[in-house]
Amino acid sequence: MLRISDVHAGYGATPILFGVSLEVREGEAVALLGRNGMGKTTLMKTAMGFLRPWRGSIQYDGRDLMRLTPHEIARLGVGFVPENRRIFPGLTVRENLELGLSAVPDRSATLRRRRLDEVFGHFPRLRERIDQAGKTLSGGEQQMLAIARVMMAGARIILMDEPTQGLAPALVRHIREMLAELKRLGVTVLLVEQNARMALNVCDRGYIMEKGSIVFEGPAGELRESPLTREKLGV
């Protein structure tokens, strides 16, 4: 579904990515692991069109994304949940969710009700807080809201950047359950995560990134047992 091939990118004249290649097949959850500063978030931003690659190719469902804007990429069914969630703190849960429809050509009341019902079916806690401002939610609830917002847009693949960052262990377990639910629903996920143990327990495959390059890839079970994973990630 998503194929990134030999991508080089950076900021200004500073290179960050050096020939990165990975793929995510339909229905998979794939972990992208690595220590801080290795280029994982840069790769996500490049895939979403926020950063133009210098060289290489990025394809989603066979379509070239290289010259598309983030808005156009979102309309194709690619959702992005950024680091720190980036919900609108002064808007209610309902208003945050309805903003997810901005990438959808059909914004009818019927579609809005149907998508809200689907989201609340998966995340009933958001229904309980529908009229609360985003800033009043817990960290875990804000993460739930960020994921639900891209689901409102009908995303078929979700790029998720550090969803457990700054969360207590109990909330990390809840995020893991949410990821498992997304897999059950058939949503494809590319997950950037510092918590390698959690990511490899919920994902099918994984890649390890170091200094802007992929240094190891394989099935999640193989990565969990590999000495290289412990060496590169300290787990």
| Least confident stretch, 134-138, 169-173, 219-223 | 169-173
CA–CA separation, 18 and 7 (whole Å): 7
What's the pTM value of the predicted model, to 2 decimals? 0.90
Q: What is the pLDDT of residue 138?
A: 86
| Least confident stretch, 15-24, 192-201, 208-217 | 192-201
CA–CA separation, 103 and 155 (whole Å): 10
Tell whether the model's pLDDT for residue 235 goes beyond 70: no
pLDDT digits (tens, 9 = 90+) for 61-91: 999 999 899 989 998 999 999 887 788 899 9
159 versus 174: which is more confidently predicted?
159
Tell whether the model's pLDDT for residue 194 goes beyond 90: no
Q: What is the pLDDT of residue 106?
A: 66
Tell whether the model's pLDDT for residue 31 goes beyond 90: yes
The percent of residues in the chain predicted with pLDDT above 70, rounded, is 97
CB 148 within 8 A of CB 116: no
Q: What is the pLDDT of residue 214?
A: 96
| Least confident stretch, 47-56, 141-150, 161-170, 202-211 | 161-170
pLDDT digits (tens, 9 = 90+) for 87-129: 889 999 999 998 887 767 666 788 788 888 888 888 888 999 9
pLDDT band for 218, please (50, 70, 90 cuts).
Answer: very high
Q: What is the pLDDT of residue 208?
A: 95
Structure tokens at 111: 């579609």
Structural domains of the chain in order of their starting residue, each with its CATH number: 2-233 (3.40.50.300)
Task: With CA atoms as reference, report the closest residue to 189 among 46, 39, 28.
Answer: 28
Q: What is the pLDDT of residue 107?
A: 67
CA–CA separation, 128 and 144 (whole Å): 13
